[in-house]
Amino acid sequence: MSNPFLKQVFNKDKTFRPKRKFEPGTQRFELHKRAQASLNAGLDLRLAVQLPLGEDLNDWVAVHVVDFFNRVNLIYGTISDGCTEQSCPVMSGGPKYEYRWQDEQRFRKPTALSAPRYMDLLMDWIEVQINNEDIFPTNVGTPFPKNFLQAVRKILSRLFRVFVHVYIHHFDRIAQMGSEAHVNTCYKHFYYFVTEFNLIDPKELEPLKEMTSRMCH
């Protein structure tokens, strides 16, 4: 395994947790294959994210959310040994942006946490949702809940914060590992997808605005 990016990932058991796979033969598995094929064909990412004719928006979004979760989890996994309580005592994106954690269980009020603690809670929180049949039903024919896109917006806006933290605080590590092109492609794919379907509030995208305008013109 000569790729340093992958080598680093697979040495980090705790952060690399491959998630829910789509069952072969299901409609979502086929959609997932189509989404991958269009990426692998080198199709313009802006076109690759568009909803294929005749497909259901919720299905298309569900497939991408799981995929983005896996990719962002991997990206964070590669730099996580350099993201510690000492180096990143605050979950931030530069001096102007601090992200506080809030959930339904332990942190009912927005709480300041270190970046690694925030990331751990975030990955666990998303994992629970994408494995919850009431939010991400796997059986074809089981309808998505009415609040599906609302749930997805929250997941994606929080995943975006991982990009913010990684780009602003750990980009030297990404570059050092030679993973810059890979991470930039993941970011562009994510950005085009969320803007195509209006899944993140533009205000949330502000911290990477300058980089995005250079990269995704």
pLDDT band of 29, cuts 50, 70, 90: low
pLDDT band of 38, cuts 50, 70, 90: low
**Rounded alpha-carbon distances, angstroms, from residue 94 to 123, 145, 155, 190:** 21, 36, 21, 21
Question: What CATH number is attached to the domain comprising 211?
Answer: 1.20.140.30
Mean per-residue pLDDT, 114-140: 91
Whether residue 35 has pLDDT greater than 70:
no
195-204 pLDDT tens trace:
999 999 999 9
**Quick count: other Cβ atoms within 10 Å of Cβ 116?**
20
185 with 145: CB under 8 angstroms?
Answer: no
**Rounded alpha-carbon distances, angstroms, from residue 116 to 84, 91, 122, 153:** 6, 8, 10, 22
What is residue 100's DSSP assignment? Answer: E
Question: Among candidates 57, 69, 64, 18, which has minimal Cα distance to 38?
Answer: 64
Least confident interval from 36-40, 60-64, 94-98, 120-124: 36-40
123 with 13: CB under 8 angstroms?
Answer: no
Identity of the residue numbered 212: T
3-state secondary structure at position 63: helix
Could you tell me the residue range of the domain that residue 115 belongs to? 4-215
Sign of dihedral through CA atoms 38, 40, 44, 45? positive
Token pair, residue 10, equals: 């697979």
Q: Which pTM value belongs to this model?
A: 0.85
Residue 21 or residue 69, greater confidence: 69
User: With pLDDT > 90 as the criterion, what percentage of the chain qualifies?
Assistant: 62
157 with 121: CB under 8 angstroms?
Answer: no
Domains identified in the chain, total number: 1
